[in-house]
Amino acid sequence: MREDIEFEAEGDVLRGWLYTPDNADGPVPTVVMAHGFSAVKEMYLDKYAEKFSDNGLAALVFDNRNFGESDGEPRYEIDPWQQVRDYRHAITYALTRDEVDGNHIGVWGSSYSGGHALTVGALDNRVDAIVSQVPLTDGYHNLRRLVRPDILDGFREQFDQDRLARFNGEEPQMVPVVSEDLLGDAALPTQDSYRWFTETEEERAPNWENKVTLRTVEMLGEYSPIDYVERISPTPLLMIVAENDQLAVADKAFETYEEAHEPKRLVTIDGGHFDAYVEKFEETSTPATDWFVEHLNR
């Protein structure tokens, strides 16, 4: 069963869905979920939540602040630390629901929010199990790998100009999330990013917008979940890494896994970043489901 939900978070209302098993006769373990960079919940999070619910778990899915159906200003700005706090607000809200077993809470994240799952799991002792799928683990490293040095230098100049403009009360500067022109000023300048976002918008998520604030790109370079991964233990951690991930680069994800302490498990898929959601859905959702069932039903 799926119910529309909303909850207050530092003055803004965040909106999403609560999935519960059809045969539940009391509170059940619950997974808290949000999407990655600029994505909205309609971009396949329903499929993961349905899988969890079909296996006896509740799933609380929400749109990130400033995106989708959630409130927040400025629109289309991603502050990673605000999103981490919003995961924690979502956990707090989950604990108020009669359907939720507050002693058995999992967090799931993918791509940018895969990094949030690591960070939240390290900082919030209410979390009992973590799944981090194709995660961004080092924003500075990622930017240097994705963006040509000359374009990155141009971004830095724009960051300074945008900071002054915003100080003077002007609207934030925007950049596309993706672009067909791989040499253009896109936040995610890869071919598979352009294809996945545009195709998924057309098929599933017409409310997705191809833009983020310029400051979003600056804050991406300042965010480093790998710095927190050693703190996760003894919370059980499952990482799912795409071996050919060129967006949330695979080598850094493997390095992050090595820095994590037990208990942990690594699952790899043969494919790229976005294969996790579609072509390899069963290969990502099944181990995630098994991990939560194993560790949240203790």
**Domain total in the chain:** 1
Report the DSSP pairing between strands 212-213 and 174-175: antiparallel
**Using one digit for the tens of pLDDT, what is the confidence trace for 243-282?**
999 999 999 999 999 999 999 999 999 999 999 999 999 9
Does the pLDDT at position 215 exceed 80?
Answer: yes
* Sheet containing 237-242: order of strands: 2-9, 12-19, 58-62, 28-33, 100-110, 127-133, 237-242, 264-269
Q: pLDDT: is 286 or 149 the higher one?
A: 286
The percentage of the chain sitting over the pLDDT mark of 90, rounded to a whole number, equals 90
Q: Which domain holds residue 66?
A: 2-138+224-296
Banded pLDDT at 181 (limits 50, 70, 90): confident
Does the pLDDT at position 226 exceed 90?
Answer: yes
211 in any annotated domain: no
Average pLDDT, the chain: 96
Does the pLDDT at position 147 exceed 90?
Answer: no
Identify the pLDDT of residue 112.
Answer: 98
Does the pLDDT at position 184 exceed 90?
Answer: no
122 in any annotated domain: yes
Kindly report which listed range (104-113, 148-157, 166-175, 202-211) carries the lowest average pLDDT score: 148-157
Q: Which helix (H) or strand (E) holds 285?
A: helix 281-296
Identify the pLDDT of residue 166.
Answer: 94
17 in any annotated domain: yes
162 in any annotated domain: no
Banded pLDDT at 156 (limits 50, 70, 90): confident
Question: How many residues are there in the chain?
Answer: 298
Q: How far is the C-alpha of 220 from the C-alpha of 146, rounded, in Å? A: 12
pTM as predicted: 0.96
Does the pLDDT at position 2 exceed 80?
Answer: yes
Banded pLDDT at 152 (limits 50, 70, 90): confident
95 in any annotated domain: yes
203 in any annotated domain: no
Does the pLDDT at position 182 exceed 80?
Answer: no
30 in any annotated domain: yes
Q: In degrees rounded to 5, what are phi and psi of residue 235?
A: -70, 130
Measuring CA to CA, which residue among 121, 113, 120 is closest to residue 137?
113
249 in any annotated domain: yes
Q: How far is the C-alpha of 219 from the C-alpha of 162, rounded, in Å? A: 13
**Using one digit for the tens of pLDDT, what is the confidence trace for 18-27?**
999 998 889 9
Domain CATH code at residue 69: 3.40.50.1820
Banded pLDDT at 89 (limits 50, 70, 90): very high
Average pLDDT over every residue of 192-211 = 98
Q: Which helix (H) or strand (E) holds 146?
A: helix 139-146
